[in-house]
Each structure stands twice: as structure tokens, then as C-alpha cells.
Amino acid sequence: MAKTYKAVEVTAPGNLRIVERPIPEPDKGQVLIRVEACGICHTDSLTVEGQFPGLSFPRVPGHEVAGRIEAVGSGASAWSAGQRVGVGFFGGYDGHCELCRRGDFINCKNLTVSGISVDGGYAEMMLADANAVVSLPDSLKAVDAGPLLCAGVTTYNALRNAPLRSGDLVAVQGVGGLGHLGIQFARRMGFRTVVIAIEKEKLARELGASSYINAETEDPAAALQRMGGAKVILATAASSRSMGPLIAGLAPRGRLVVVGASAEPIQVDAVQLLFGARSIEGSLTGTAIDIEDTLAFSVAQNVRPIIEMVPLEHAAEAYARMMRNEARFRIVLTTGQ
Ligand SMILES: [Zn+2]
Ligand SMILES: [Zn+2]
């Protein structure tokens, strides 16, 4: 049996290279995963560009990891060799900080983040904390599971945790990696789903949009108000500038839920928040059990990502293409396992 495995590591900001590493033994509380697929997410740029505070190199990016258990460490007996599993952004928690003691594991002060604080899934093998591992449904292919482990749980949790009732008007802004899944979830959760985008009407409707607003030719907020106002706007575009004006499209007590990340500020008119008690909030991914719920819902309701498959060896080019906004809609690295 091979004693080494291929990994794509960041050696310095902007520099991805392929290396051979010795296959590690899982430590206490860990499992070793033989990776079959790993999605490329925009958040990987925190690792590749070296933007995450305190990041150390070399580091293997990747937090949309699907594969099989290769070996199980002591104290991780909930898992067994050969089992199909995945790992998302949530890579584990310390279990003893105040937030963990309150059961808020995703906000753990010492959160482990796959591909940032520990090596991730741009590799043939990955060590993972047993608490972060999720079981994959039999009928879900590894390449389809990958994007659901991050983009999927992010949009699924944002919608299911919002104060919504079936039939409510929900707007999804953007039809990219997050948005193309958010539209499917919103429709299948029973919401009237309106999509705000540019030049994506046909696809938006195929994914489940009941209405479409072309943000280039009409004012999205005015269009939403003509429909009665949105109870929730799921803002998935990585552009804060496009989010602020949407607040005027919310119904009273409506929420702008931000899941698309960009460093620039969101401009808000305070009067729009006060009158109608509108709010803005962020929603960050989910824990292992949230991911299992996402996968179960996706299987039951036939939600799938639209993917392109690229061999692991071409990770650097694939990452660059994602950063140029050329991925339609998720590039998934495959190891040929
Ligand atoms: Zn991600
Ligand atoms: Zn904690």
C-alpha cells in the first residue's frame, strides 16, 4: 500500500503547489478520510491569499470534503472504516468555552476551521475531528455532497432559522455558488421564491424561482414592494454595495440575511430599519448535525448543486478560475478514488 498521498498546499500567499506527504495516523478523537471530492469555495481565498489572521503555512485549503473513512483513532468509535462521510467548514469545537457550554458550537471561541486552522480537503487524505464528521446518504454522490457541505448548509440554515412560514415571499439575491442552492431550498421549503439577478432568468426559473427581478433594468426594492415586500432577502452576492439598497424591499419585520462575504461595508439608511422594524443579520454555515439535516433535505427534495469536476492535480488553475468568477457554479476537485 502507498505510504504517501498527494496534497495541494499553500506555501506562501498566492502559491498553491502539489506535494507528496506521508500518510498520517489519526490521533485521539480523529478519523483519517480518503478524499473523493472537494468543492472549491470562495472562502478558500482566506487560506490561499493568506488573509486569515494567524494563518500558518504550509496549509491545505478545502472545506467541502466528501470521501470514506480510511482509519479511526481512539475515542472516535462512532465511525468505522469504509463509511461514507464528509466534512464542512466547521472542523470541531473545544467543548469548554462559554459558548460551547451554552451549546452554541458554531460560535466556539476556539473553533477549528477545515482548511484554515487545520489542513483541509485539497488532498487525497485528510485528518478530521470526529465531532465534525457527517454521514453521507447512500444516494448522494461524493461530488454532489461536497458543495452541500458548505454552500448548501449555509443557505439551508439561513432559511430554516429565519422566522418564515410556508407561502411567505422570500427573495434570493444572486445566482452563484450559494444562490443557485438557496433558490432550490427556498422553493422546496414552500416559500414564494423571487430571484434578483442579472441575465440569469432562465436558470433561476429552472431552479425554482416563481418570479424574477432583473437588477440591471429595474429597482429590486420597488419590484419587491409591488409583490408585498419580502419577509426575508437572502443576500448571496459577494458585493456589499448591492445589498444596502435591498433593505427598502423588505416587508415590515423583514430581514436581510447576509451569507455572501465581501470586505466592504453595507450602507444602510437607519430610517428604513426603524420604520417597519427591519433588520440585517449574518448567518454562518452550520455544525455537523446541521449538515446532516441539509443532506437529508436535499435527498428528500432533490436539491443538487450544479458542478464542474476537475482533477485534484489542476487545483491551482481551478481555484484561479473560481476567483475570476468563471465557475458554473461550483468546481469540485476529484481524486479518482
Ligand atoms: Zn465554503
Ligand atoms: Zn468552545
- Residue-wise pLDDT for 79-106, tens only, equals 999 999 999 999 999 999 999 999 999 9
pLDDT level of residue 327 (50, 70, 90 thresholds): confident
25/87 Cα distance (integer angstroms):
18
- Residue-wise pLDDT for 265-275, tens only, equals 999 989 989 99
Ligand lying nearest the CA atom of residue 38: 1
Ligand lying nearest the CA atom of residue 131: 2
Give the pLDDT of residue 83: 98
- Residue-wise pLDDT for 241-254, tens only, equals 999 999 999 999 99
Element (H, E) at 153: helix 153-160
- Length of the chain counted residue by residue: 337
Report CA(284)–ligand 1 centroid distance (Å).
Answer: 10
Ligand lying nearest the CA atom of residue 100: 2
In the chain the domains, ranked by start, together with CATH numbers, are 4-150+285-334 (3.90.180.10), 162-282 (3.40.50.720)
Report CA(108)–ligand 2 centroid distance (Å).
Answer: 4
Report CA(90)–ligand 2 centroid distance (Å).
Answer: 12
Give the pLDDT of residue 1: 63
pLDDT level of residue 329 (50, 70, 90 thresholds): confident
The pLDDT of 289-307, averaged and rounded, is: 98
Report CA(235)–ligand 1 centroid distance (Å).
Answer: 15
Vertex 108: Cα angle to 104 and 110 (nearest 5): 170
State whether residue 67 is helix, strand or coil: strand
pLDDT at 150 over 70: yes
Report CA(277)–ligand 1 centroid distance (Å).
Answer: 31
Instruction: Kindly state the cell numbers that stand for 79.
Output: 465511525
pLDDT at 70 over 70: yes
206/51 Cα distance (integer angstroms):
36
Report CA(131)–ligand 2 centroid distance (Å).
Answer: 13
> Within 13 Å and on the Cβ side, how many CA atoms surround 337?
25
Report CA(289)–ligand 1 centroid distance (Å).
Answer: 17
Radius of gyration of the chain from Cα atoms?
20
- Residue-wise pLDDT for 13-68, tens only, equals 999 999 999 999 999 999 999 999 999 999 999 999 999 999 999 999 999 999 99
Give the pLDDT of residue 325: 87
Ligand lying nearest the CA atom of residue 42: 1
Instruction: Kindly state the cell numbers that stand for 291.
Output: 449538515
| Torsions phi, psi for 195 (to 5 deg) | -105, 135
Report CA(194)–ligand 2 centroid distance (Å).
Answer: 38
Report CA(110)–ligand 2 centroid distance (Å).
Answer: 5
Q: Kindly write down the DSSP assignment for every residue of 216-281, as one continuous string.
A: TTS-HHHHHHHTT-EEEEEE-SS-GGGTGGGGGGEEEEEEEEE-S--SSPPP--HHHHHTTT-EEE
Report CA(274)–ligand 1 centroid distance (Å).
Answer: 33
Instruction: Kindly state the cell numbers that stand for 261.
Output: 462575504
Report CA(61)–ligand 1 centroid distance (Å).
Answer: 10
Ligand lying nearest the CA atom of residue 112: 2
Ligand lying nearest the CA atom of residue 63: 1
Instruction: Kindly state the cell numbers that stand for 62.
Output: 478545502
Ligand lying nearest the CA atom of residue 92: 2
Closest CA to 89 of 65, 110, 58, 122: 65
112/88 Cα distance (integer angstroms):
11
Report CA(146)–ligand 2 centroid distance (Å).
Answer: 25
Report CA(91)–ligand 1 centroid distance (Å).
Answer: 12
- Residue-wise pLDDT for 176-224, tens only, equals 999 999 999 999 999 999 999 999 999 999 999 999 999 999 999 999 9
CA of 251: how far to CAs of 161, 167, 237, in Å? Answer: 18, 14, 21
Instruction: Kindly state the cell numbers that stand for 96.
Output: 469548554
Report CA(140)–ligand 1 centroid distance (Å).
Answer: 19
Give the pLDDT of residue 2: 79
Mean pLDDT, all residues of the chain: 96
237/243 Cα distance (integer angstroms):
8
Closest CA to 142 of 327, 329, 335: 335
Report CA(177)–ligand 1 centroid distance (Å).
Answer: 9
